[in-house]
Amino acid sequence: MAEKKVAKNPMKKKKKNGRLDILTKGFIRENPIFIFLLGMCPALAVTSTMETGLGMGLLVILVLTGSNVVVSLIRNLIPEQIQIPAFIVVIATFVTIVGMLTEAYAFALHQSLGIFIPLIVVNCLIMGRATSFASKNKVSDSAIDGFGMALGFTFALMLIGATREIFASGAIALGVYLPLPFEISIINTEMYLFNMDVFAGPAGGFIVIGVLLALFTAIGNYRQKKKEAERQAWIEQKKKEAAERKRKKAMESAGDAS
Amino acid sequence: MFDKIKIAGILLVVGMVAGLAIVGVHTLTEDRIEENRLAMQYEDYVSIFPDMDLTNYEEKALDQDVLTTRITAYDSDGDFLGYIFIGESASYGGTNRVLVGVDSDGRIVKVILSQTQDTANIVQNVIDILDKFEGQAFGEVDYDAPSGATQSYDSIWRVVDAVSLMIEGDPTQEAFESVFEDADSYDVLFDHEDLAFVEEFNIRDADGTILGYAYEIDVDDENTVFLVVDQDDVFKGFVPKDAVDDETQAMIEAYDDHIDTPLVDIDPDTGDILEDAINDLKPLVETTTRVDYDIVVRYKDYIEDDEVVGVTYIVRTDGYNARMIGEVTIVDDELFSFVIRSHNESADWGAIIIDDGDLQEALIDADNPEDVDVKEYTTFDATSGATQTGEAMQRIVVAALEYHNEEGGQ
Amino acid sequence: MEIVQKSAPHLRKPNANVVRMMSDVAIALSPLVIFAIVQHGMQAFWILLVSVLSMVGTEYVYYQIIDKMNGEKFRINNKSFTIYNFSVVVSGLIYGLTLGDTVPLVVVAIGGIIGVFLAKLIFGGMGQNIFNIAAFARVFVVLAFGGAIAYEAFIDADAGATALGMLAGEARLDGPINDTYSYWTMFSGIGLPGSLGETSALLILVGGLYLFLRKSFDIFVPLTYVGTVFLLSLGVMVSTDAGWWFPATHVLAGGLMFAAVYMATDPITIPTTRPGRIYFAFGLGVVTFIIRLFGNLPEGVVFAILIMNMFVPAIDYHKWARNKFTVKSATIFSLVVIVTIILTAVGVNYV
Amino acid sequence: MISPTVFFVAIVSSMLINNIVLMRFLGVCPFLGVSRKTESALGMSAAVTFVMLVASVLTYILYYLVLDPFGIEYISTIAFILVIASLVQLVEMFIKRFSQKLYKMLGIYLPLIVTNCAILGIVEINIRENYAVQYGFGAGLAVAVTSALGAALGFALVMFAFSSIRERLDAATVPESWKGVPISLVVAGIMALAFLGLGGIV
């Protein structure tokens, strides 16, 4: 049994469900922050708490899904030469609208994100998805792609934010910035050692992302090594089988001869 | 050509649709955004008086060292809610902006640290104790400082203290106002050590003109009384600072008959501390003339063998630590003697230069005391603070000479 | 074909000399350690012990884990572990000596662990680090645990300020120090408040002299560093009429001497060429003095070391790094020095 | 008359204390992406400086002469990004036409600048700081340009230091999983930590 398992070619990917794959790939495999290093500015600037990270993520979900849909809708109407300016207009429009909505309905979030709301316009992630995916695929796929990618982005921001917040204040709060009907601490260690101011500041942001990235790279490397080992084992086995076959053939022919 | 027009047209359409969408959302959200911005601007006010009507309040600029603004808050029915005092005071990282809310009963509603540059940990330490101000009545505010965030905390209680003075009023000022209606400010002149009164005040009106003088008498630990005279040394009565007990009140009332008689003509026979004060003051009033000068100067005749031979000036200035008072005697337009009568310099450094006497001699001997290099008379180890002590001494002599020359030694 | 690295990395790799150099530094530090324990009591001993142990322990555990991951067998003595050349011990000692005697031990330990991990191990260990390990650990502790340290010694200048702390902010030209501490106190360090190791200029000089005689450090770095601060404060003294206490305090009272002798001379994190080292030390002096005079913090040496560390590879950059001063570079450098002094001396009147 | 110290404070504060990369997190993408070689770091810095200065002049004028008087400040984001995008396009064409040398130096970085948040960020900050209200239109423009120049110089300073550190790190024995961006981020973190020490110098 075990041998059979090894014998499966690990290089052959099993066929995945297309839509689900588009949705989930942004989470880990093509995570915009940890794998592609897109949108590092907001990843550093708005993640001093988990909630601001979540808020930024929500805005990006709205903008990215919206712009992907619109870009995909008009992809056949826009000539090649003016693609970029037209996309910029679309994205900037969405950002402006989302910014105004935030200011009206989530004012605390708007204040804490500050300049980084208009800066969503220049987030490479959004322009990148518009040119590389939405302008080539149909509307429903583009919507799913935008949503999934932004979800991955949100996940990364929340992870960074949670790490920084727990070190900076020893607790993770929810309901301070987002217009939620409650205000609670999800985690509260109440440990004085966790009051490391530095993690709320810029230096902590860089260091936390650096450490998380190293962690992700280490996990990736470990997986790749494992995969590589599996592949090597498979090749060995194939070689062995071939040798066996050869030997058998030789023996057969030898037997025939005798 | 047509292609280019087409491209331009498409861009135009995209732009127009985008513009329309933005304008649409803008009209939808405009009012709410404005509301939110207002709420943020007045966030601190609202957290003190949640019912405050933000469209109807009065703002008055206060001309003070610490307090900058007073907001009078009303609720939506137009009823008076209380005051919000805004003060600014220096702390470690920069200036702290502190808001103190006072309700109509004169109690503290809330103290808010609204702007600070101190580090988060220090601020946290301070915020924890701000709550204890809540509900306290002025006059009995408990200022117990926590260990740790000293400067931050100091900056806050300075503001609360200033508000307290404004609400409660300054007892000294009120006492003076009960004698002189126009009294607007006062300044401390001299400390007196061996006399029945401890401090001497100038009382001024709003223009800065001197209305009269007051002498503070500590009857006992609890009761303080001022002896007030006008600028012609006419007795204006004793007035209590704060409330005094019945015994002291009786002592004061015994002098009511003498009000509006010149001080030198009063000859009481009560045998209490108030009598001592009058007796101590009489010779001062008789022998000296008070003048108002940049550095406060007062002069009296210098008498030797019952003969007036010169003028003695008493000059007050600020030394390194606090007030320093010197007596400069000028005979025949020349410096004759210079004595430091009182000072607060530290015993190790500043006082050495005074006790040494070298600088006094040098100042008297010099043709022009302004040219004396004070630093030469300070020991190497004691340069910094002692130099300021020496410079204060120099200022005293120079001021006396200057005044003497201007007034012609009258 | 392009030759990228002029100062080859092997120059920075551990060699036989390192053991002698590092043990020399440890010997030079020992009078300071004894002085710290005498002056501050057992608390100083515990702080130094924890700071050294945390750094040594982190490095040991790290290399054991790395070996394990590479599939090697467990051995008690690990080949990459740098306790054998005293490098990590010296870092730990210096880090401990920059702390005040009121820092909680657990904070000391966290600073040591994070310091040696983030500033040394992930850069590839001994000889590869860009930033001074002790300086990074100290800065991290100050900024992370500002609250824990502040109340007693560092940030809130009112409560038990160090001698230099009295000169922070508004009071920077007031000079109350001589009223409190005599020159002898500031020179000998007896009774002077401050970090464990920084107070005694006398013992630091003794250690520096030992290192100089053993040729274990580049004497030009501390000379330039202290000289720059002295010249700048002299300029300010002249322009503000402050008096001799001003330069004396800036040289003697803070952590300047300690940093100049033990931290700024760390051969790994300073430039490789002689002129480069002098530019580096001059930069240290300027940054230190600017932070002290204009900044929020009373003390600037550790920040200055980190800031200048980040420009070390730039100073060493192959296109302009030279082993000797040329007439041109010497002229430009002297001009820069003069202009800096004049700017600081004039600028202090406008701030 | 506005005092010259305002300009000095503006330049020092936006260069060192509020350093655009280390403290404001703007332009982190080029900071990490184009800093492998010192030459390219310097080229990028030059391009950023140039575009940043011109963009802050243009957007400032646009905002206070067009958007503000007509009460349409809320479309400023879209207006600014279009100005920057077309400006970059123009500059690219202009340089290509007139100076091949300059084009070789800046050419490949110019397209990257449109999506560089440093430019849009500084322009937005200039408007938010309300210089025109504080100092009047003309002087406000001068202050805005000065602080943009300071920001660009700060960008160049850390780019230069960072790229030389990365060149040295390439030769170091950095553990495999820390190689590249993770160790660079930690270096940037330590740099930010060190820059905190400069707080309050102006």
Contacts of C288 in chain D (CB under 8 A): none
* Range with lowest mean pLDDT among A40-54, A179-193, B23-37, B254-268: A179-193
Q: Among partner residues D25, D77, D114, which is closest to A96 by beta-carbon distance? A: D77
More confident residue, C59 or B314: C59
**pLDDT at A228 exceeding the cut of 70:** yes
More confident residue, A1 or A248: A248
Q: Among partner residues B26, B93, B94, which is closest to D74 by beta-carbon distance? A: B26
Residue-by-residue DSSP string for C41-89? THHHHHHHHHHHHHHHHHHHHHHHHHHHHTTPPP-SS-SS-GGGGTHHH
User: A 161-220 residues with CB below 8 A of C?
Assistant: 192-193, 195-199, 201, 203, 207, 214
**pLDDT at C6 exceeding the cut of 90:** no
Q: Among partner residues C107, C122, C140, which is closest to A198 by beta-carbon distance? A: C140
CA proximity to B284, closest of B376, B354, B349, B196: B196
Amino acid identity, position B259: I
Distance from CA of A200 to the nearest CA of C (A): 10
Contacts of C309 in chain D (CB under 8 A): 194
Average pLDDT of span A221-231: 88
Total number of residues shown for chain C: 351
Q: Among partner residues C106, C107, C118, which is closest to A207 by beta-carbon distance? A: C118
Burial C207-228 (b: 16+ CB within 10 A, else e): bbebbbeeebbbeebbebbbbb
User: D 75-94 residues with CB below 8 A of A?
Assistant: 75-78, 80-82, 85
Domain ranges in chain D are 4-196
Average pLDDT of span C106-127: 89
The dihedral through the CA atoms of C14, C17, C21, C27 has a sign that is: positive
Total number of residues shown for chain D: 202
Interchain contact, D78 vs B26, CB within 8 Å: no
CB atoms within 10 A of CB C64: 17
More confident residue, B320 or A249: A249
Q: Among partner residues D115, D124, D188, which is closest to A118 by beta-carbon distance? A: D124
Q: Which residue of B has its CA nearest to A86?
A: B11
Amino acid identity, position D129: E
Interchain contact, C245 vs B383, CB within 8 Å: yes
Distance CA C159, CA A167 (A): 27
Amino acid identity, position C56: V
User: A 214-233 residues with CB below 8 A of C?
Assistant: 214
For chains A and D, count residue pairs whose Cβ atoms are closer than 8 Å: 124
Interchain contact, D38 vs C317, CB within 8 Å: yes
Contacts of B128 in chain A (CB under 8 A): none
CATH 3.90.1010 given to domain B297-407: yes
More confident residue, B288 or B333: B333
Distance from CA of D117 to the nearest CA of B (A): 22
Contact status of D32 with chain A (Cβ, < 8 Å): yes
Q: What is the pLDDT of residue C230?
A: 92
Q: Say if CB C58 and CB C121 are below 8 A apart.
A: yes
DSSP helix/strand/coil, A153: helix
Q: What is the pLDDT of residue C13?
A: 43
Interchain contact, C147 vs B122, CB within 8 Å: yes
Q: Say if CB B219 and CB B273 are below 8 A apart.
A: yes
What percent of chain A is predicted at pLDDT more than 90?
Answer: 28
Distance CA B37, CA C222 (A): 55
Q: Among partner residues C107, C122, C144, which is closest to A198 by beta-carbon distance? A: C144
**pLDDT at A230 exceeding the cut of 70:** yes
Distance from CA of D143 to the nearest CA of C (A): 19
Q: Say if CB B346 and CB B370 are below 8 A apart.
A: no
**pLDDT at A76 exceeding the cut of 50:** yes
Burial class (CB in 10 A: 0-12, 13-18, 19+), A241: exposed
Distance from CA of D190 to the nearest CA of C (A): 8
Average pLDDT of span C125-148: 82
CA atoms within 13 A on the CB side of D68: 13
CA proximity to D120, closest of A103, A108, A123: A123
Average pLDDT of span B299-316: 73
* Range with lowest mean pLDDT among A128-132, A178-182, B9-13, D81-85: A178-182
Q: What is the pLDDT of residues B230-277, one digit of tens each?
A: 878 888 888 887 777 888 888 888 788 778 888 778 777 777 778 888
Pairing of strands B67-75, B52-61: antiparallel
Show which subunits contact B, needing at least 3 CB pairs below 8 angstroms: A, C, D
For chains C and D, count residue pairs whose Cβ atoms are closer than 8 Å: 103
Name, in order, each residue with C-beta under 8 angstroms of C65's C-beta and a sequence gap of 6 or more.
none
Distance from CA of C144 to the nearest CA of A (A): 4
Residue-by-residue DSSP string for B130-141? HGGGTTPBTTS-
Q: What is the pLDDT of residues B179-192, one digit of tens each?
A: 888 877 777 766 66
User: Mutating which of B127, B157, B344, B383 best tests the C interface, going by the most C Cβ atoms within 10 A?
Assistant: B383
Average pLDDT of span B393-398: 83
Q: Which residue of C has its CA nearest to D168?
A: C313
Residue-by-residue DSSP string for B336-383? EEEEEEE----TTTHHHHHHH-HHHHHHHHSSSGGG--GGGGS-GGGH
What average pLDDT is seen over chain B?
Answer: 76
Q: What is the pLDDT of residue B46?
A: 81
Q: What is the pLDDT of residue C156?
A: 30
**pLDDT at C155 exceeding the cut of 60:** no
Residue-by-residue pLDDT tens, chain D, 202 positions: 577 778 888 888 888 888 888 888 888 888 888 888 888 888 888 888 988 999 999 999 999 999 988 888 888 888 998 898 888 888 888 888 887 877 777 767 777 777 778 889 999 888 888 888 878 888 889 999 999 999 999 999 999 999 999 888 888 888 888 888 899 999 999 999 888 888 766 6
Q: Which residue of A has its CA nearest to D177?
A: A218
Q: Which residue of D has its CA nearest to C310?
A: D161
**Top-confidence range, B139-148, B198-207, D180-189:** D180-189
Contacts of D74 in chain B (CB under 8 A): 22, 26
Distance CA A183, CA A180 (A): 7
CA proximity to C189, closest of C57, C36, C322, C58: C36
In the numeric block, which tokens belong to residue C76? 């008690």
B390 confidence band (pLDDT: 50, 70, 90): confident
Q: What is the pLDDT of residue C135?
A: 92
More confident residue, C109 or B372: C109
Q: What is the pLDDT of residues C156-183, one digit of tens each?
A: 332 234 555 555 444 455 554 555 567 7
Helices (H), chain C: 16-40, 42-69, 87-97, 105-119, 133-144, 146-150, 177-180, 183-188, 201-213, 220-240, 245-252, 256-258, 274-294, 301-309, 312-315, 327-347
DSSP helix/strand/coil, C249: helix
Show which subunits contact D, needing at least 3 CB pairs below 8 angstroms: A, B, C
Interchain contact, C295 vs D169, CB within 8 Å: no
Contact status of D65 with chain C (Cβ, < 8 Å): no
What percent of chain C is predicted at pLDDT more than 70?
Answer: 84
Q: What is the pLDDT of residues A138-195, one digit of tens each?
A: 898 899 999 999 999 999 999 999 999 888 877 888 877 888 777 777 777 766 666 7
Q: Which residue of A has its CA nearest to B10?
A: A78
Distance from CA of A214 to the nearest CA of C (A): 10
**pLDDT at A245 exceeding the cut of 80:** yes
Distance from CA of C290 to the nearest CA of A (A): 22
**pLDDT at C113 exceeding the cut of 90:** yes
Q: Say if CB C293 and CB C236 are below 8 A apart.
A: yes
Contacts of D157 in chain C (CB under 8 A): none
Amino acid identity, position C290: I
DSSP helix/strand/coil, A90: helix
Q: Say if CB A189 and CB A207 are below 8 A apart.
A: no
Interchain contact, A201 vs D192, CB within 8 Å: yes
| Chain A residues in contact with chain B using a Cβ-Cβ cutoff of 8 Å | 74, 77-79, 81-82, 85-86, 89-90, 92-93, 96-97, 100-101, 103-105, 107, 111, 195, 197, 200
For chains B and D, count residue pairs whose Cβ atoms are closer than 8 Å: 8
- Give CATH for domain C9-350: 1.10.3430
CA atoms within 13 A on the CB side of A109: 26
Distance CA B390, CA B394 (A): 6
Q: What is the dihedral of CA B341, B347, B353, B357, to 10 degrees?
A: 50
Burial B328-358 (b: 16+ CB within 10 A, else e): bbbeeeebeebebeebebbeebbbbbbeeee
Distance CA B366, CA B368 (A): 5
Interchain contact, B121 vs C182, CB within 8 Å: no
Q: Residue B101 phi/psi, 5° resolution?
A: -95, 135
**pLDDT at B67 exceeding the cut of 90:** no
Interchain contact, A100 vs B29, CB within 8 Å: yes
Distance from CA of D24 to the nearest CA of A (A): 7
Name, in order, each residue with C-beta under 8 angstroms of C157's C-beta and a sequence gap of 6 or more.
B92, B151, C165, C166, C168, C169, C298
Q: What angle do CA A6, A11, A14 make, to 5 degrees?
A: 90
Annotate B269-320 with three-state secondary structure: CCCCHHHHHHHHHHHHHHHEEECCCCCCEEEEEEEECCEEEEEEEEEEEECC
ipTM of the complex: 0.72
